[in-house]
Structure 1
Amino acid sequence: MIGLYDSGDPEIARWHVRLAQAAGIDAFLASWWGDFKERDRAFESGILAAAEELDFKIALLDERAQFHHDFAAYQAMLAAALAKYKDSPAYLRIDGRPVVYLYQIGKDPGLSAEEFPALRGAVEAKVGPVYWIVDKLAHDPDAQREGDEDRIKKIPEDWLAVAGVDAFGFYSTFSRFRASHYEELAGKYSCIASQAHGAGRKMLLPVHPGHDTSRFRSDPYIMPRRDGQTLRDYLRAAADAKADFTLVTSWNEWPEGTVVEPSSSWADPYAYLKILAEWKGVSFVEPPLPEGLRR
């Protein structure tokens, strides 16, 4: 809608926060890579500063939990980042503790259940107690053999037994299984959430407006948006599964076509934010465009 932009631009970041607030979104989980390509500076000058100014919340979605080569260096990196950001009034806390979401992929995850206690110990020794949300979902071959589609994905037993994990979640369905209708989601979401709740943990479930990688993949997956019905079906499935947290994937992951950020490609650029606002029971009021783009 506004063309190419810099996420570190304070005016753009303020607009993003105002849009999120108008839609009833409670917080952003910001993709975090440490100082890789100076992304930490963009985080600080952009969305963190805007969240502090506008009384919004933000937490780290830690990509390094998956993508690291030196475990000790990674532990130190995460501890240093939390020490730097946790006392910001904008940093999201649950039960009084700063939140970290540890991103993982389904195949060849970068963090094992055996390694988590060491990570937790190293980080909490420096910053105090942390609210840990772990991205963890695995395939269940037994359920597949039995033809039980609702149980083909599960939270691994070794992770359910690990102390210190407060909540489980996963970033997307499209990298784990293919679904875009309520009927395809409801049973799976209910089974996954019940596993977390049965182990005394909270559950974060993702919701998607759509997905389209046809611009850069020869074998693309397209999840049709269906004029907003896909997002509505995801929201309904997450609510019916009694998710403790709902993760909108995504705000502005444009290459994967999962965005809810306003787009001129839609008849109503704010369509998906209005759907979220309706779900949260708030009236969406369009904030002004960023300075310099106002008509």
Structure 2
Amino acid sequence: PRAVLAFYYGWWGLAATSGARRHWGPPDGQGVAGAAHFPQGGLYDSRDPDELVRQLAVARAAGIDGFIASWWGRGGFEDGTLGLLLRAAERAPFKVSAYYETSGAGPRAGEAASARIAADLDWLARRHMTSPAWLTVEGRPVLFAYERVLEEVEPQAFADAVARVAAGGGPRLFTVGPAEFAQTRPERAPFFDALHAYSVVRETHEVGSRRLSAAAERIYRQQVAAAGSALACVSVSPGYDDREMPGRPDPRQVLKRRDGATYRVLWDAAIRAWPDWVLITSWNEWHEATEIEPSVENGGRELETTREMAGRFRTA
């Protein structure tokens, strides 16, 4: 069935709840350092159970079916958040998957990375994927992998790690591999059950507003066609602006929101492409200003667009 999923970042921390400030930079006027926008409800902690319940309620009201939670390793901060998120989702009800970001072994790590991936996936399967809130396809737990993972191992090695989980008595995972942003990367298809592009910013940030619709529709139709009989995913985003983040290379890519028009245009193009899943980048990646979560600068505009477009998508 069709689904609307949003990439979710559970790395935000405050001293009162988590013992330390995490990812939120120091206060910078009304804003916060390292982010272009400021949360409308103020800074929050991703491990605050009340905050998780609130976020899930807001997301459900906007037509979102589930979150793809960024995950950075066994026992890490985001791992703890994932467990709390799943417990909240079980009561919502709401679906959750994980975004496997890295093995932590570094680029071209080969066998070392493959072994760590297998251990990570076994951990996820045993500790988290047993939750009834975990997203599944035909009974198989869904796992997304970020592009960085295939900088560490070849696709075959990742597939071997997935097979090791099943051989060890774990579930047969449904893997959604990276297609390297808007590229289709057909050579990767045999190693995953589906492919996804996290973002189309690279291909659209320099496209004028008049040409954005045609450019996005071309990209999305190519992605859906490349999926063939496999599950087809396309990604939409309200914008992108990481200029407040230190340490990233210049020139920075900026996809302007254009008072909400960018998000609407991308959604329109996505619906016309007829995918199975629409992935929203993102619920709360404040560093890159891709969030649809309400902000001081944009209010709840993107949530209203999501609610409208998700309804259209399901009935198209």
TM-score bracket, shorter-length normalisation: 0.7 to 0.9
Give 1:214 deviation, angstroms: 1.7
- Please name the residue that 1:247 is paired with: 279
Which residue of 2 is the match for residue 8 of structure 1?
47
* Matching residue's letter, 1:41: G
Q: Is the 8 A contact 2:202 2:253 kept in 1?
A: no
- On the 8 A contact 1:213/1:256 being kept in 2, the answer is yes
- The structure, 1 or 2, with the larger RCO (C-alpha pairs under 8 Å, 6+ apart) is 2
**Kept after mapping to 2: 8 A contact 1:169/1:205:** yes
Assess if the C-alpha contact under 8 Å between 2:186 and 2:226 holds in 1. no
Provide structure 1 residue ranges, at least 5 long, that are not aligned to the other structure: 139-152, 283-295
* Matching residue of 2:171: 128
Per the normalisation by structure 1, the TM-score is: 0.81
Shift of 1:36: 6.0
* Alpha-carbon distance between aligned partners in 1 of 2:136 and 2:70, rounded to the nearest angstrom: 17
Structure 2: distance between partners of 1:156 and 1:66: 24
Distance in structure 2 (CA, Å) of the matches to 1:254 and 1:67? 26
RMSD: 2.3
**Structure 1 segments of 4 or more deviating over 4 A?**
65-69
Deviates more, 1:252-261 or 1:123-132: 123-132
Choose from 174, 182, 186 the match for 2:201.
174
Structure 2 partner of 1:155: 184
Query: Quick one: percent identity of the two aligned structures?
Result: 30
Over 3 Å counting, the alpha-carbon distance change for 1:67 and 1:13 in structure 2 is: farther
Give the secondary structure class of the aligned counterpart of 1:59.
strand
What aligned pairs does 1:138-287 form with structure 2 within 5 A after superposition? 154-160=183-189, 162=190, 165-175=192-202, 178=205, 179=207, 181-197=212-228, 200-216=229-245, 217=248, 218-266=250-298, 269-281=299-311
Structure 2 alignment gaps of length 5 or more: 1-39
1:31 to 2:31 alignment: no
Query: Residue 114 of structure 1 is aligned with which of 149, 156, 173?
Result: 156
Residue 151 of structure 2 aligns to a residue whose secondary structure is: coil
Does the C-alpha gap of structure 1 residues 78 and 176 become closer, same or farther in structure 2, counting only changes over 3 Å? farther
Structure 1 residue 175 displacement after superposition: 4.5
Give the count of matched residue pairs. Answer: 260
What is the CA distance between 1:229 and its match in structure 2? 1.1
Q: Distance in 2 between matches of 1:91 and 1:62?
A: 14
For residues 103 and 64 of structure 1, the distance between their equivalents in structure 2, rounded to whole angstroms, comes to: 7
Pick aligned residue for 1:81 from 124, 133, 146: 124
Between the aligned partners of 1:167 and 1:3, the Cα distance in structure 2 is 37
Q: Give the CA deviation at 1:136.
A: 1.7
TM, length-normalised to structure 2: 0.76
Please tell me the residue identity of whatever aligns with 2:171. Answer: G
With over 3 angstroms needed to count, the CA separation of the structure-2 counterparts of 1:281 and 1:193, relative to structure 1, is closer
Structure 1 counterpart of 2:88? 50
Q: Distance in 1 between matches of 2:275 and 2:104?
A: 24
- Aligned-pair CA distance for 1:155: 2.7
